[in-house]
A and B are shown apart, each in its own frame.
Chain A
Amino acid sequence: GAGVSQTPSNKVTEKGKYVELRCDPISGHTALYWYRQSLGQGPEFLIYFQGTGAADDSGLPNDRFFAVRPEGSVSTLKIQRTERGDSAVYLCASSSRGPASSYGYTFGSGTRLTVV
């Protein structure tokens, strides 16, 4: 597709369950980012991939969060033992350049995760 695609658009899960969020970046974009946006806040950086490898995972809040991008295109963000505080919109973005690009990133519409 022409844009960044994220699925599902909405996910409701029970506390303690495992969830996977998927991101399909723009074709050919080597850089992929995950951000999290809580209510009333701006997007908060989680992890950045350059190709298949995680170039910067310093934003992951704890070891319950993990992300993969095995073939350098689609990425999956995995959250184990979900907590109510994980409820947020998870945004994926891609770009043809690395961080700090003055061209910006292209964001998907996000996955709204609600942990009940």
Chain B
Amino acid sequence: DQQVKQNSPSLSVQEGRISILNCDYTNSMFDYFLWYKKYPAEGPTFLISISSIKDKNEDGRFTVFLNKSAKHLSLHIVPSQPGDSAVYFCAASEEGQNFVFGPGTRLSVLP
């Protein structure tokens, strides 16, 4: 029973365009959400976070949107660059608990 879902295993986007990665969760008690990026043979790298008191958080080219009523969040990357090609994991936690990760989406940014 997956509490955090990333229904698109892969996504291809042209360089310079917007990448939108989606994540859905089932546990309404989740109140912290993170996105991680992972390159091959490396550990996941923290990218951006959002808490449930916000609906948007922006950091440079990366913006995360949270829709609590839909139990949905998304990561927008604009403009996309070839170096953004990686696997992106969504993670969620309930206060005081450890993070639950989704299965990941492989993003390929084509030059």
Contact = CB atoms under 8 A, between A and B. Distances in A.
Interface residues of B, number: 29
A43 to B, nearest CB: 5
For the residues of A in contact with B, the DSSP-based class is loop
Contacts of B41: 109
B98 A43 contact: no
A111 B31 CA distance: 30
Given A106-B46, A107-B43, A99 B96 contact: yes
Interface residues on A, range: 20 to 34
A85 B66 CA distance: 36
Contacts of B96: 98-100
A1 interface: no
Interface-central residue, B44, B46, B50, B103, by most chain A CB under 10 Å: B44
Contacts of A103: 46, 49
A36 B49 CA distance: 22
A109 B34 contact: no
Interface of A: 4, 33, 35, 40-45, 48, 56, 59, 91, 93, 98-110
Interface of B: 4, 6, 31-32, 34, 36, 41-46, 49-51, 89, 91, 93-104
Given A59-B98, A99-B97, 19 more contacts: A41-B103, A42-B4, A42-B91, A42-B102, A43-B101, A56-B98, A91-B43, A98-B96, A100-B93, A100-B96, A100-B97, A102-B34, A104-B36, A104-B46, A106-B46, A107-B44, A109-B41, A109-B42, A110-B43
